[in-house]
Structure 1
Amino acid sequence: MTNPLISVIIPVYNVGNYLLKCLDSCFSQTYTNIEVIAVNDGSTDNSGKMLDQYAENELRLKVIHQQNRGVVRARELGIVNSKGEYVCFVDSDDFIEKDMIYSLLRVALGTKADIVSCDFCICDDKTGNKVIKRNYYLGSQKEDILASLLLRYCTWSLWGKLFRRELFDSIKMPYGLRVGEDGLVCFQAYNYSRKVEAVNLPFYNYVQRTSSVTHTKKADLSLDILEFIEQIMSMKDMFHWGAKIDMPMNTFIASQMFVYYVNGGRLKRMIERIGIPFRISQMMSLDLRFIEKVGLLIFLKMNYISGYLRRLYIYATSC
């Protein structure tokens, strides 16, 4: 196996309690030809100082400090300053197994894949419980891969994957979007890739904590959710995705309609703006009106009523 440089990009924001474990896991890799680019995105805790102290004893760590501009800008800055032939992303409150980079790189080099994903563990920060989740694809053709993303058989997250660096030369970064940033980048990367592979071993550990950016409820997200849906739908036309994508796209739209609705949006406005397939709007309209009367939590417990939307809820809130 050749020995290409791998760039590990870590956006950092107020993760003082988790940062050392994350960094240690990166620098304990069995594959050692790596550079780690940590972008401190205006942290107000001791994260920035911790990075500088760590870099004093680890020459492979490059620390970049910027004012708080969000995770998209932080990752972009990491990519711009990377020198590796391949890049992978690690969130600063997560950690990776010691063989992750070696295993993904071996498959990438052996198959000439542009993207290699792995399975992951969801680690509950409070209980310590772990649940293994798979990343897999319906087939090897591009439309099979994209359908797998739309159906969330493979996560939209950038973490847990090894990307050929040159893919990002063509990717348009989603500035200012608060919902689906990873998804928009991920869909573009998969669209531009020539070959994708999966390693079915849980090398990535996703730490689920109630105070994280993902799990903190944000106000007034409905317009961002509409923007996310519109951008994914526009990709279908722009990149000429075929008919095999239609049903997975409908499932994606239906799930995001639900997310949009829960975050304060209204079905009528969404249908007027985006033009939702009639079948989806008919299936959901009665359920959504019922939610307005009884509340979401009660509705989700009423299995005999909420089967369709309950499945969408699980789909829409998965990693």
Structure 2
Amino acid sequence: MNDPLVSVVVPCFRQGQFLPEALQSVLDQTYHNWECIVVNDGSSDNTEQVAAAWIKKDKRFKYLYQDNSGVSSARNSGIAHSKGEYILPLDADDKIAPEYIEKAVEAFLISPDLTLVYCEAEKFDEESGKWNLAPFSLHTMSRKNVIFCSALYKKKDWERVCGYDINMSKGIEDWEFWIALLKHGGMVKQLNFTGFYYRIRNNSRTALVEKNGIIDMYEYMTVKHPDFFVGQYGSFIEMERNMLNYRKEVDLQLKSEKFVVDLFCKRFFGFTIFGRLDSIKNLQEKKRNVK
């Protein structure tokens, strides 16, 4: 009862070179009742050989293979095969501090009503230093993701929201999952210590996603959770302002502000309100021209 099993799920796609560091960080945990499931998401590198070597080191390591289906599918596969009461996702190129699982489990045991526990984080590799994440709130979460993928949560909550959405194929799947998990309520705790280390690489999955499709995923996410986003934005003006800020953050080369607004309005409000908004913009432009 006081030593619940924690399942660490490590999806890996062409990251075999980094996998030993991630698995070593799991092996170094001060908390001992864990299993670690490496999910080979159709890698053509040495992921299988690396995983096999770690299974020989410690029987708590396990291995799954699937044809390449994306990180959401890989996480879901690993969690579906897991036996733990708690789940900790860990990307194959990241690391966790030795005390992370122990401190996170302790937080759950002290406050059983918690839904999610995470910690402070640092970046490493091509960029280093503290990762300054904004404090969690649903309001902030509607504007940007403030919780990295490696947070501890209950397996039953993963089941409740039907897991990670495999349609989030171009990234930010963890952001969508946190929204699904927390939008109807739930307590979140951030531990006051650095327990997660996030690798920064110019050719990382996140960097490529930000250049090639994150707006599509953001649009899909807002359409999937209109109740959450409408409730948190409060008004179209706030929503529009956030869309512009988000565009700047990911540094996408979009043609105009109107392109971003169109994507959201067509989905949320339909063409009638969209037409009204377009008319308002035209009137504003005419007024500026008259002045």
TM-score, normalised to structure 2's length?
0.80
Q: How does 1:52-201 map to 2 (within 5 A)?
A: 52-112=52-112, 113-123=114-124, 125-126=125-126, 129-134=128-133, 136-137=135-136, 145-152=137-144, 154-155=146-147, 157-159=148-150, 161-172=151-162, 173-176=164-167, 177-192=169-184, 194-201=186-193
Deviation at 1:19, TM superposition (A): 1.1
Kindly tell me the number of residue pairs found equivalent between the two proteins.
Answer: 269
- Worse-superposed segment, 145-154 or 17-26: 145-154
Change in Cα spacing, 1:32 to 1:242, as seen in structure 2 (3 Å) is same
Q: Call closer, same or farther: CA 1:242–1:225 in 2, change over 3 Å.
A: closer
Deviation at 1:126, TM superposition (A): 3.7
How far the C-alpha of 1:190 sits from its partner, in A, is 1.9
Structure 1 residues 193, 243: closer, same or farther in 2, change over 3 A? closer
RMSD: 3.2
Residue matched to 2:264: 274
1:256 aligns with 2:246: yes
Task: Give, in whole Å, the separation in 2 of the partners of 1:258 and 1:65.
Answer: 38
Verify the 8 A CA contact 2:171 2:209 in the aligned structure 1.
no
1:141 paired residue number: none
Q: Aligned residue for 1:216?
A: 208
Distance 2:145 2:212 in 1: 28
User: 8 Å contact 1:179–1:228 — kept in the other structure?
Assistant: no
Distance of aligned partners of 1:207 and 1:243 in 2 relative to their CA distance in 1, 3 Å threshold: closer
Q: Structure 2 stretches of 5 or more lacking a match?
A: 267-273, 286-291
Query: What's the offset of the Cα at 1:47?
Result: 1.5
Task: Read off the aligned partner of 2:15 and give its amino acid letter.
Answer: V
Q: CA separation in 2, counterparts of 1:228 and 1:252?
A: 12
- What is the CA distance between 1:78 and its match in structure 2? 0.9
Query: Contact conserved, 1:147 with 1:245, CA < 8 A, in 2?
Result: no
Does structure 2 retain, via aligned residues, the 8 Å contact 1:41–1:67?
yes
| % identical aligned pairs | 24
Q: Residue type matched to 2:42 in 1?
A: G
Tell me the distance in 1 between the aligned counterparts of 2:249 and 2:135: 24
Residues of 1 paired with 2:103 and 2:149: CA distance? 17
Deviation at 1:58, TM superposition (A): 1.2
CA separation of 1:269 and 1:216: change in aligned 2, threshold 3 A: closer
Q: TM-score, normalised by structure 1?
A: 0.73
